[in-house]
Structure 1
Amino acid sequence: MNGHFLSREINNEPAKFRRLLNKLNKEVDFINIEKAVELISSGKATEVKKTLLAFTFDDGFDDCYYSLAPVLEEYGINACFFINPNFVAGSKEYIKNFVINTVSTPNKRPMDWEQITNLKDRGFVIGSHTKDHVRLSELDDHDIKCQVEDSKYIIEKKLGIKCEYFAWPYGQFKDITEKALIIVEEHHKYVFSGCDYKNYFSYEGKVFNRRHFEACWSFNELKYFLSFTRKY
């Protein structure tokens, strides 16, 4: 499951997410994102009888640090947070433009590098979401490389880790090209979309598909989407 925020407002109260996970935990088993990727990559996911659920969150809002990560830790699991380095370190003007015009969440704020480092140290996975949350399908090869390679470099330098996870912004197939996907794959081991959730993979096994949700959604909404059988 892939989300972005706790709510569209400035709201760091985690109680709603905790209630959602409490209800979900009676229906599914939560697992770490690394375990989910391993099961899907190996083809063993179909051998598991019970529904397993792992989480990712895009864009790097500070909800991830204050609200989402602490609740996930209560259940003994992590998540992958896909971040945009220029949003993390942006000026007030950049951040304002990002939340209003780029991702349409005008009340949100980014995590800073200290918070992201803390999450990494606590066992959460940090992935790349390009430098500026751009549509790769609208860029030429040079700009794609800048967005992909520079984002990975910054994350690795700041956190002292190898950045192997990548999710392209907006997440639909129209938002990436096959050439852009080749560039992404040259630099990342795991690539994630935000669509086609009834299938584990797309692009002949190159892309992990995720189901969109938000931490403020109702239990019944998630239960409906989880009722579908996924296919390889």
Structure 2
Amino acid sequence: MINKLSKLVLKEIDLKFLMKISGSRHLLPLYHTVSDIGLPHIKNLYTTKNTTEFRNDLDFFLKNYKSVAIDELINQLKENNVREPIFNLTFDDGLKEIVEIIAPILLEKGVNATFFINSGFINNTSLFFRFKTSLLINKIKDKINSDNVIKQLKELLDGLSGETLTKKLLNITYNNKNILDKAGEILEVDFEEFLKTEPFVDDDDIQWLIDKGFTIGAHSIDHPLFSDITLDEQIRQAESSICVLNEKFEVAKNRLFAFPFSDNLVSDSFFKRINNEFPTYTFGTSGLNYDFEKLNFQRVPIENSSFGISELIKMYHLKFLLRKFQL
């Protein structure tokens, strides 16, 4: 009932009015992938847009904002001179669909985008630990009547938080991700075999994106939550992924880095060290917001919402206004 009421209220609010009173006229939408089929490594983690929904999103953005390259958006923000509503689409994790589905649609519609790539996943050399979790959850459903398998899994996951095996698996973090490999053995899930389906982009894919005019940024080596790792490891994850992409593809006109998961609780020390020699433009995921770090920009997550794109963006504006009022 509350959700329906919220949607009705948001529908009646004018977006241009919200932009005016919020003072925010830029947008960095965040996606991961787009697909018309259920992706086994993702479907237990978050919802994705299908191609029709994605095209509708793009039509909304193009109607209300001007598509610009990420460099232009950054420069306007740095100069505090956003002259008209502008946006740049961003995509995380370097999934294969960005080449097979997303980029062709963006080229068709003339939309700029930035793709943030994990250096450790390029060429499908390793699998993101959260994708392992989703594959394991799929297999649990197949093995639910196998008492021996379920017993072994319960023993392995004993002590982890969560009321069910699925929730326990979802609560596994980067720091204890080795449990997922043991669970894979119990459930007979072959992660190396799954990598042969090529869920990630390869070198040729990335070069193709660059040749088509898209921007490439770094997204860490293998996607840890930064608040779960030490400062030294944070720097290694960021610097190594930036360097690998620059060495392979010469993408460092500007050093771009999107935090995996979130930039919550990332310390000032990280930003001082990462910007020590060369300015690095970093990107969080906290919605429509301005950051205290002048080279850190916040993005608007689009997936996992029951709101339509218009209502969702208006909601982000309202949240932004509330934060300003509280300050």
Specify the TM-score bucket, using the shorter chain as the normaliser: 0.7 to 0.9
Aligned with residue 71 of structure 2, among 34, 42, 47: 34
Does residue 191 (structure 1) correspond to residue 268 (structure 2)? The answer is no
1:105 to partner: Cα distance: 11
Return the offset for 1:148.
Answer: 1.8
Report the CA distance between 1:98 and its aligned residue. Answer: 4.8
Q: Which consecutive aligned stretches of 4+ in structure 1 deviate over 6 angstroms post-superposition?
A: 104-108
Moved more, 149-158 or 70-79: 70-79
From 102, 116, 126, the equivalent of 1:68 is 102
Shift of 1:88: 1.5
Q: Map residues 170-185 of structure 1 onto 2, 5 A cutoff.
A: 170-174=261-265, 176-185=266-275
Q: Give the distance between the partners of 1:126 and 1:161, measured in 2 at CA.
A: 7
**Is 1:209–2:298 an aligned residue pair?**
yes
Task: Confirm or deny: 8 A CA contact 2:99 2:205 kept in the other structure.
Answer: yes
8 Å contact kept, 1:65–1:119: yes
- Offset at residue 120 of structure 1 (A): 1.0
**1:89 alignment counterpart:** 123
Q: Does the C-alpha gap of structure 1 residues 98 and 167 become closer, same or farther in structure 2, counting only changes over 3 Å?
A: same
- Could you tell me which residue of structure 2 aligns to residue 79 of structure 1? 113
Q: By how many angstroms is 1:13 displaced?
A: 6.5
Partners in 2 of 1:76 and 1:208 — Cα distance? 23
- Within 5 A, what are the aligned runs for 1:1-232? 1-7=29-35, 9-10=38-39, 14-45=51-82, 47-48=83-84, 51-91=85-125, 94-95=126-127, 97-101=129-133, 109-162=199-252, 164-174=255-265, 176-186=266-276, 187-199=278-290, 201-203=291-293, 205-214=294-303, 218-225=308-315, 227-228=317-318
The answer on whether the counterparts of 1:20 and 1:215 sit within 8 Å (CA) in structure 2 is no
Q: Distance in 2 between matches of 1:77 and 1:220?
A: 18
- Greater helix share, 1 or 2? 2
Distance 1:184 1:64, change over 3 A: farther
The structure with the largest alpha-carbon Rg is 2
Identity of paired residues, percent? 23
Contact 1:136 1:177 in 2 (8 A): no
Q: Residues 53, 141 of structure 1: CA spacing in aligned structure 2 closer, same or farther, 3 A cutoff?
A: closer
Q: Distance in 2 between matches of 1:210 and 1:105?
A: 29
Q: Report the count of equivalent residues.
A: 222
Deviates more, 1:148-157 or 1:5-14: 5-14
**Given the superposition, is the C-alpha separation of residues 226 and 177 from structure 1 closer, same or farther in structure 2, using an over 3 Å criterion?**
closer
CA displacement, residues 130-168 of structure 1 (integer Å, 9 cap, x when unaligned): 111112233234323321221112111111332610111
- Structure 1 length normalisation: TM-score? 0.80
> What is the alpha-carbon distance in structure 2 between the residues aligned to residue 213 and residue 99 of structure 1?
20
Report the alpha carbon displacement of residue 225 of structure 1 after superposing the two structures with TM: 3.7
- The Cα RMSD (Å) is 3.2
Q: Where does structure 2 lack aligned partners over 5 or more consecutive residues? A: 1-28, 40-47, 139-193
Task: From the superposition, tell whether residues 226 and 138 of structure 1 become closer, same or farther in structure 2 (CA, over 3 Å).
Answer: closer
